[in-house]
Structure 1
Amino acid sequence: MDGLDGPRFGPKDGDAPDALVVLVHGFGADGNDLIDLGAMWAEAVPRALFVAPHAPQPCDGIPYGRQWFPLWDRSPMQLEAGVEAAAATLGRFVAQEAARLVLSPGRVALMGFSQGAMTVLEAGLRGAVPDPACILAYSGGMIGADRLAERIRGQPPVLLVHGEADEVVPVAATRMAESALIDAGVPVRALYRPGLGHGLDEVGLAAGAEVLRRMLSPT
């Protein structure tokens, strides 16, 4: 599994999982940073298993953090190569987890924060994770957004959430992603949160819970 693993939560109701929600952390964090969302969102999808894998690489400059791809060179070519490799690694992990749980691709949801948001958008739209139920991308953006239309492999519904006061990833990154998704025919909802910095808030998390409930409710 490319060495990927991380904390897990659920299913809340104790039954066998009927859905998988993969929580993808940001630069310098690890899976423990997001797994508490499982307990919160389990109210919406009580039969889902939540998994928050640790990124595969040690983090540049942060001894105990992890990264999905390096940021020392932020040229477009290097960033695109980095996020593509990260998406492929995540895709293999998701495929193995789904096979272990005997779940179809449509029973898998992807969520990411910051660098994790960039990774899940790449993975879920460009085929590394084929046909996910939905993508939830918080405080991130899309690397290579200007080339989405020529590389897109699927059109899962996408929720974008970004704080307008984000001091780490400018909100313009999500506005650009929203525009690219619309142009590519992807169903997208974007929430821009006044006064929110680089983080999550109750409104954005409630919106994510509603998307999970709608897309992963038992058929």
Structure 2
Amino acid sequence: MKYAINHEFVSISSQTATHRIILMHGWGADSDDLLTFGKEMTEKINLDFEVISLRAPGLHPSGQGRQWYGLYPHDWNGAEVEVNKLLVTLKKFDTDQIPLTKTILLGFSQGAAMAIDAGFQLDFGLIVACSGYPHPNWTLGEKFSPLIISHGLFDDVVPIDASRNIYEQVKCKSSKFCELIEFDGFHQIDSNLINFISSNISNIF
């Protein structure tokens, strides 16, 4: 299937897919970074998934990998611009065959910050934020998607309090499924996350 969107992406497509997962990589990675993770997740969950892994638009300062916006120094104005572009892209994935309500939006680190900001302006089946943080001007609106947050206790890149902050804000206002997983790890995706999502998917979709 072709999508006229703002972002390049790699995919594992399925003509019979009833659900979709959209992946957003971290600062300095690229669109193929989370593809294996997405494939493993869809194999664990007993649903027919299409996997889309978006590519951040900017080149990382090192010349290797990509960035959603500049981080050192932090370009928060640029972040807002990119969130708006991302919203356009995500809305294009809201199709009759696979609506956003049957879509998982998963981001890691900077990708998680983008997923939280844009995702809570739309109606997703599930948002998964791994080792993420809220943008400074992020505020909750009227839309609430089910949410799973995962963060390593010893993360020395993004402090775990960033995820705790997101969790507390959402938990106070949303009646939807909302969980915070704190695990013994650093700036990484929890190895048990796929099992947790698959065991709770019936409570979400």
Q: 1: distance between equivalents of 2:93 and 2:168?
A: 32
CA 1:45–1:26: 2 relative to 1, 3 Å: farther
**TM-score, length of structure 1 as denominator length:** 0.82
CA 1:33–1:212: 2 relative to 1, 3 Å: farther
The corresponding residue for 1:92 is: 88
**TM-score, length of structure 2 as denominator length:** 0.87
The DSSP-based 3-state class of the residue aligned with 2:139 is helix
Q: 1: distance between equivalents of 2:147 and 2:10?
A: 24
CA 1:201–1:45: 2 relative to 1, 3 Å: same
Q: 2: distance between equivalents of 1:37 and 1:215?
A: 20
State the identity %. 22
1:37: Cα distance to partner?
Answer: 1.5
- Write out aligned runs for 1:139-218 (5 A): 139-144=131-136, 148-149=139-140, 152-185=141-174, 187=176, 188-194=178-184, 196-212=185-201, 214-216=203-205
> Would you identify which runs of 4 or more consecutive aligned residues in structure 1 move more than 6 Å?
none
CA 1:213–1:67: 2 relative to 1, 3 Å: farther
Q: 2: distance between equivalents of 1:87 and 1:210?
A: 31
The DSSP-based 3-state class of the residue aligned with 2:133 is coil
Q: 2: distance between equivalents of 1:198 and 1:58?
A: 21
The corresponding residue for 1:107 is: 102
Q: Does 1:73 align with 2:47?
A: no
1:185: Cα distance to partner?
Answer: 2.4
The corresponding residue for 1:124 is: 119
Q: 2: distance between equivalents of 1:171 and 1:2?
A: 33
Moved more, 35-44 or 89-98: 89-98
1:10: Cα distance to partner?
Answer: 4.2
Deviations 1:125-147 (A, max 9, x none): 1x2xx2111100001122237x6
Moved more, 160-169 or 63-72: 63-72
CA 1:213–1:9: 2 relative to 1, 3 Å: farther
The corresponding residue for 2:127 is: 135
Q: 2: distance between equivalents of 1:33 and 1:121?
A: 19
1:205: Cα distance to partner?
Answer: 2.8
| Preserved CA contact (<8 Å) 2:6 2:88 | no
- Write out aligned runs for 1:52-67 (5 A): 52-59=53-60, 61-67=61-67
The corresponding residue for 1:83 is: 79
| Preserved CA contact (<8 Å) 1:10 1:46 | no
Q: 2: distance between equivalents of 1:171 and 1:6?
A: 29
| Preserved CA contact (<8 Å) 1:109 1:212 | no
| Preserved CA contact (<8 Å) 2:6 2:85 | no
1:97: Cα distance to partner?
Answer: 3.2
CA 1:3–1:143: 2 relative to 1, 3 Å: closer
The corresponding residue for 2:50 is: 49
Deviations 1:4-24 (A, max 9, x none): 12221244xxx5221121000
**Number of residue pairs matched?**
200
Q: Which runs of 5+ in 1 are unaligned?
A: none
| Preserved CA contact (<8 Å) 1:88 1:123 | yes
The corresponding residue for 2:33 is: 33
